[in-house]
């Protein structure tokens, strides 16, 4: 289920004439076995969640299983700057419909990375990744604190609070809410970029019932950036640990065509990036992931490029 890093995938351009200042990620990335007993480390640990089961169960367009490999291909050529400690912890693979054991394996791998001091950057996979990601952070934090204040910040066109009987890419934050209730923890969920036209009334009602803080896509244009930042900063004040999750369908379809459900409007990168920077600079970011990349629908690798750009931004601000 958990496959070690395949370092032969890290191929890219070599600018030997530039010396150390010409280095790219493929020249510095190191393989990492994510077991709890390994030595403490620092920097970012990349981890893939190769999974189609969540999107398939949610009646979407499958193909997200190929997401981690597509993102690594773009990351390989990223210039090395502020973040120099980059590890690849391999991929958790979901076989066919075996979603629940794959999510548990993802949680365990993330917990191990957190225990050893890494900032895990996880690459989906559909948004069912979020239940596994949160579980990994929860397991880690529960071992050191009784009543942690964990904030979940989701950049997404969708609430993903569905009540479906089986877990899917549409249910993770409802599952996280239930997990928090079981643990006696507050559920602090901030959802940024919600489309009024891609969520039913039932989902808005549930969001209200769970005390979710949200902004609509139409409230997140560049002219309102200051108000958006004020809202996110207020949410950050209320929590000690942050899990940031980015559903790539929050972006306009032109910037992120390679997803299951492309956005008719979306939140442009010029707003998404300052929000991500605010979170990454907060000192509270413990874990981040990107979800829903479907390389089969990606034009010119646009969506993979956005995913890699966002992960690199996070690594440069929080991963050292
Ligand atoms: N993770 C995606 N969730 C969306 C998908 C919407 C769609 O496929 O149209 C949801 O369930 O609402
Ligand atoms: Mn979405
Ligand atoms: Mn989502």
CA of 92 relative to ligand 3 center, distance in Å: 19
Binding site per annotation, positions for Mn(2+) = 127, 156, 158, 160, 247, 249
Domains of the chain by residue range:
2-318
Tokens, residue 89: 């912890």
Q: In the chain, how many H helices and how many E strands?
A: 10, 10
* Predicted pLDDT at 248: 99
What fold does the segment set 2-318 form as a domain? 3.40.800
Find, among 73, 71, 83, the residue nearest to 246 by Cα. 71
User: What pLDDT, on a 0 to 100 scale, did the predictor assign at position 8?
Assistant: 97
Spell out the residues 6+ positions from residue 109 whose beta carbon is closer than 8 angstroms to its own. Answer: 2, 34, 47, 89, 92, 136
Residue 194 CB: number of other CB atoms within 10 A?
A: 26
DSSP one-letter string for 263-304: BSS---HHHHHHHHHHHHTSS-EEEEEEE---GGG-STTHHH
pLDDT at site 320: 73
Task: Give ipTM to 2 decimals.
Answer: 0.98
| Ligand 3 center from residue 156 Cα (angstroms) | 5
Atom 3, ligand 1: which residue's CA is nearest?
170
Rounded Cα gap, residues 154 and 152, in angstroms: 6
Please list, in sequence order, all residues whose beta carbon lies within 8 angstroms of the beta carbon of residue 311, skipping any fewer than 6 positions away: 46, 71, 75, 121, 123, 288, 290
Which residues approach ligand 1 with their CB closer than 6 A? 58, 60, 126-127, 158, 160, 162, 169-170, 260-261
The alpha carbon of 193 and the centre of ligand 3 are apart by a number of angstroms equal to 11
Q: Residue 34: its pLDDT value, please?
A: 77
Residue 175 vs residues 34, 128, 272: alpha-carbon distances, Å = 25, 10, 25
Q: How far does the centroid of ligand 3 lie from the alpha carbon of residue 194, in Å?
A: 10
Instruction: Please list the pLDDT of the chain residue by residue as tens digits (320 residues).
Output: 899 999 999 999 999 999 999 999 999 999 999 788 888 889 999 999 999 999 999 999 999 999 999 999 999 999 999 999 999 999 999 999 999 999 999 999 999 999 999 999 999 999 999 999 999 999 999 999 989 999 999 999 999 999 999 999 999 999 999 999 999 999 999 999 999 999 999 999 999 999 999 999 999 999 999 999 999 999 999 999 999 999 999 999 999 999 999 999 999 999 999 999 999 999 999 999 999 999 999 999 999 999 999 999 999 999 97
At residue 308, the pLDDT reads 98
Residue 38's pLDDT is 82
Exposure string of 68-96, with b = 16+ CB inside 10 Å and e = fewer, is bbbbbbbbbebebeebebbbbbbbbbbee
- Predicted local confidence at residue 106, as pLDDT: 98
């Amino acid at each position: 289920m958990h496959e070690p890093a395949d370092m032969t995938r890290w191929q890219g351009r070599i600018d030997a004439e530039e010396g150390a200042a010409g280095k790219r990620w493929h020249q510095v990335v190191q393989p990492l076995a994510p077991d709890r007993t390994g030595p403490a480390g620092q920097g970012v640990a990349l981890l893939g969640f190769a999974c189609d089961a969540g999107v398939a169960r949610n009646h979407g367009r499958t193909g997200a299983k190929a997401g981690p490999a597509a993102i690594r291909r773009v990351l390989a050529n990223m210039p090395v700057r502020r973040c120099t400690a980059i590890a690849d912890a391999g991929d958790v693979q979901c076989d066919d419909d075996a979603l629940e054991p794959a999510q548990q394996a993802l949680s365990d791998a993330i917990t191990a990375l957190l225990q050893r001091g890494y900032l895990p950057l996880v690459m989906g996979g559909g948004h069912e990744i979020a239940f596994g990601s949160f579980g990994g952070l929860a397991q880690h934090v529960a071992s050191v604190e009784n009543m942690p204040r964990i904030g979940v910040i989701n950049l997404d066109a969708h609430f993903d609070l569905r009540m479906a009987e089986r877990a899917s890419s549409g249910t993770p934050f409802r599952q996280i809410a239930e997990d928090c209730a079981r643990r006696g923890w507050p559920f602090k969920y901030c959802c940024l970029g919600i489309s009024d036209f891609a969520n039913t009334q039932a989902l808005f009602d549930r969001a209200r019932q769970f005390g979710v803080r949200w902004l609509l896509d139409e409230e997140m244009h560049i002219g309102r950036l200051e108000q958006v930042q004020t809202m996110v900063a207020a949410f950050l004040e209320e929590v000690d640990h942050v899990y940031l999750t980015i559903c790539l369908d929050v972006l306009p379809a032109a910037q992120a065509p390679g997803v299951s459900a492309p956005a008719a409007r979306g939140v442009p990168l010029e707003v998404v990036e300052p929000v991500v920077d605010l979170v990454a600079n907060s000192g509270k970011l413990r874990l981040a992931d990107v979800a829903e990349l479907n390389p089969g629908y990606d034009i010119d690798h646009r969506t993979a490029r956005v995913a890699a750009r966002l992960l690199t931004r996070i690594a440069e601000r929080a991963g050292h």
